[in-house]
Structure formats: C-alpha cells, structure tokens
Amino acid sequence: MWPQVIAGFRLYWRSVHQLSDPPRVFMPDSSPHTVVETEFPVRYAETDAMGVVHHANYLVYFEEGRSQYIRDLGSDYAEVEASGYQLPVTEAQLRYVGSRRYGDKIRVRTWIEENLTRRVTFRYEVVDTDSGSVLVTGYTRHVWTDAAGRVTRVPESWKRIFS
C-alpha cells in the first residue's frame, strides 16, 4: 500500500510543482514599489472580548488595502469580475506585532510584491496612524482564474493595472 501512496504523492507533487509552462515575470519588479495607504478607525464590531482587534479582522484590513490599491490605479474588483476573471486568495500570511482598540486609527500600506503571468502577491503593513508603529505585516497571494475557476494567464487588459 505505501508504494502506491508514495507514487501518488510524487505524481501530485510533479503536477503542482513542475509545470510544463512555468510562471514568468511579465513586468519588471520596480523599486521603489507603488505604495497605497488606506486609513480608517477600528470599528467596535472588529474587537474581541479583550477589547482589541480580533486577529481575523486584519485579513479584512488587507482586503480594504488591496481594494483601495486597485481603485487608486483606476479600476476595481467589480471590473475584474465583469471582464470574466477573478483573483481568489490562494495563500495568506500574517505576523502580529501589536494590537489596537476600538476607535484607534490605523493605516494599511499596500503594494505589489510579485507579478507573475498567473499569480500576483500583495504585501501589507498595518500601522498605528498616530505613532507610526507597525502592528501587523503580511501578504496575500492570488491567482488569475477565468469565470469557470480555471487558472489562467493575466489578461492583457489587466497587465497595465498591476504594473
């Protein structure tokens, strides 16, 4: 039984990690990155029983930052979906350094860290607006999919938005 399990795992691993058409960078990774900042107060509904922002809400803050980033570049998620494409999150990572309470003002800094033909990675910092201290850092990784949910290359019409 174990040889079949191992053989099956190897087949799966190859299908995931050894693509016949590996992703390629379609735009140079310019430095410094375009950074979009989104500022808002911590809302009461986002806090937990200890009175601090519940850890899961930082993903909501990341989404706010990402949405504002795309709006600042002249588009929005609704346009992406209306054109027959989607950008689902495939990976998320957060590192918690500090916390905030109801009414505190926070700023989400968002930039694109990686642009590949099928994948885009957004990087984030959530900072305290008053002190500038970093509260949370992290990233979300997304893949381009068509309306049926199949992974596809970034559409030509969207390359300029994510440059």
The pTM (predicted TM-score) of the whole model is 0.78
Which stretches of the chain are assigned E, i.e. beta strand?
36-41, 85-86, 89-96, 105-115, 119-128, 134-143, 145-146
Q: 32 pLDDT band (50/70/90 cuts)?
A: low
Quickly list H helices, 18-155: 57-72, 77-82
Q: Which of 48, 76, 130, 146 is catalytic?
A: 48
Can you give the residue range of the structural domain that contains 137? 26-159
**What pLDDT does residue 112 have?**
94
**Is 48 among the residues known to form the active site?**
yes
Answer yes or no: is 12 within a domain.
no
pLDDT given at position 73? 86
How high is the pLDDT of residue 162?
72
State the pLDDT at residue 80.
87
Q: What is the CATH number of the domain that holds 72?
A: 3.10.129.10
Better-scored residue on pLDDT, 155 or 124: 124
Asked whether residue 8 is assigned to any structural domain, the reply reads: no
The pLDDT value recorded for residue 131 is 95
